Amino acid sequence: MLAVEMRGVHKRYRASGDALRDLDLEVREGEAVALLGPNGAGKTTAISCLVDLVGPTRGTVALFGRPAAEPAIRARVGYLPQSVGFPDHYRADTLLAFHAALLGIPPAARAARVAEVLARVDLQSAARERLARYSPGMLQRLAFAQALLGDPDLLVLDEPTASLDPLARRRFSDILRDEKRRGKTILVSSHILSEVETICDRVAILKAGVLVRSGRLVELCLTGAVKLHVARLASPSIESLVSAGAEVALDAGGATVRCADDAVRRSADEILARHSIAIERVEPERSSLEEVFVAAVTGSTAA
């Protein structure tokens, strides 16, 4: 079943023009998907459409098969906005108790649930402090705690680690991995690609409101080139391989033949067979997510 389904979503702001252009996005239950894109690409608008903070100009948005505009469906969603805003007269525990009441958590279970999520984000010692005294990082952790409060099936996180220190960031990644293991769906927008690589299965890259690239992370990072590891290469075979378009690198343990595409690969296989050289290992060449991202948003091909 699809946890998130956006079909032909178009959003036009009166002041700034088109933020999303016919966006189609699907997230299956249990998947962790990263929404990437440069600033102003429309990531926050897309996420805001999911929690009905912004209404699409046209197109449909559904969560677990129900329209996103239905308030009841948001009981299954935990949302962490990009800029966190809480009324500062609250204490962390009373604020979360209020949100728990809105979520319909029974009064008897509220205190325990609040204490549990505060402990998960390491805020239990500051639970009774006024939010006016909280640092931006603590507020971010509290916002994450309120997103986890209802044990949601879908976590929608917009730039969740922007104000977190490395320690809190690691804790945050651990919690997300836990949630993923428990079968929860995660949609996260982030500029920290290393973090995305460790958590997400799929990536969707937006540029100027258009989905320019999407797919499984492992597939997106494949460049299409392969490296053939061999034990030894003689001069005639090297000359033949280079003339066929392969790149040859000699090292202490043997040699590596890089074939940029299938045609080169076929020629290299023939040459190696002709010279009776055995291929020890075939390794598909991968680029980093950063390279994929840069290639997608600049329009060039990944290295």
Partner 1 sequence: MSASLLVAADTLCAMRRRRQLLAGVLLCLGAAGSLLIAAARQDSAPRAAARPGPVRPPGPRARLEQQLAAKRADLRKAVESARRQRDYAHVELGRFRDFHARVLEQAKIPGLTLGSRPLSPDEIASLPGQFKADEREREAIFRRGRELDRDTSRKREAEIEVLKAERTRLGTQPDAENRIEEPPPAAAGADAEKPPLVDQMAEGSAKLSLTAISFGGGLLALVLFCSGIASEIDDRTVRMLLSRPLSRADFLLGRCLGAALVLGAYWTLAGATLCACGAVHWIAASALGYVPWLGFCGSLLLGTLGLVLSLFIRPSLAGVLTWWVSTTSFRWLPPVYAIVPSFQPFNAAVTGEPIGGWDTVFASLYAVDVIAILIGLALYRFSRLDLA
Q: Which residues bind partner 1 (CB under 8 A)?
A: 13, 44-45, 48, 51-55, 71-75, 77, 79, 81, 83-89, 98-99, 101-104, 143, 146
Q: How far is the CB of 8 from partner 1 (least distance, A)?
A: 19
Give the dihedral sign, CA 235/224/31/289.
positive
Instruction: Tell the smallest beta-carbon distance from residue 15 to partner 1 (Å).
Output: 10
Residue number with CB closer to partner 1 (53 or 273): 53
Residue 142: CB minimum distance to partner 1, A: 10
**Angle, in degrees to the nearest 10, between helices 166-181 and 136-148:** 10
Go through 62-97 and write b for each residue having 16 or more CB atoms within 10 A of its CB, e for each that does not.
Answer: bbbeeebeeeebbebbbbbbeebeeeeebbbbebbb
Using the minimum distance from each CB to partner 1, give the nearer residue, 85 or 299: 85
Cβ-based nearer residue to partner 1, 145 or 295: 145
Cβ-based nearer residue to partner 1, 33 or 73: 73
DSSP label at 300?
Answer: P
Orientation angle between helical segments 136-148 and 107-120, nearest 10 degrees: 130
How many whole angstroms separate alpha carbon 158 and alpha carbon 44? 7
CB of 137 to partner 1, least distance (A): 17
Of residues 39 and 276, the one with the C-beta less far from partner 1: 39
Distance CA 229, CA 226 (A): 10
Residue nearer to partner 1 on the CB measure, 15 or 252: 15
Nearest distance, CB of residue 53 and partner 1, angstroms: 4
Q: Which of 235, 226, 224, 239 is nearest to 279 (CA)?
A: 226
Identify whether the C-beta of residue 230 lies closer than 8 Å to the C-beta of residue 280: yes
Give me the least distance between CB of 259 and partner 1, in Å please.
Answer: 47
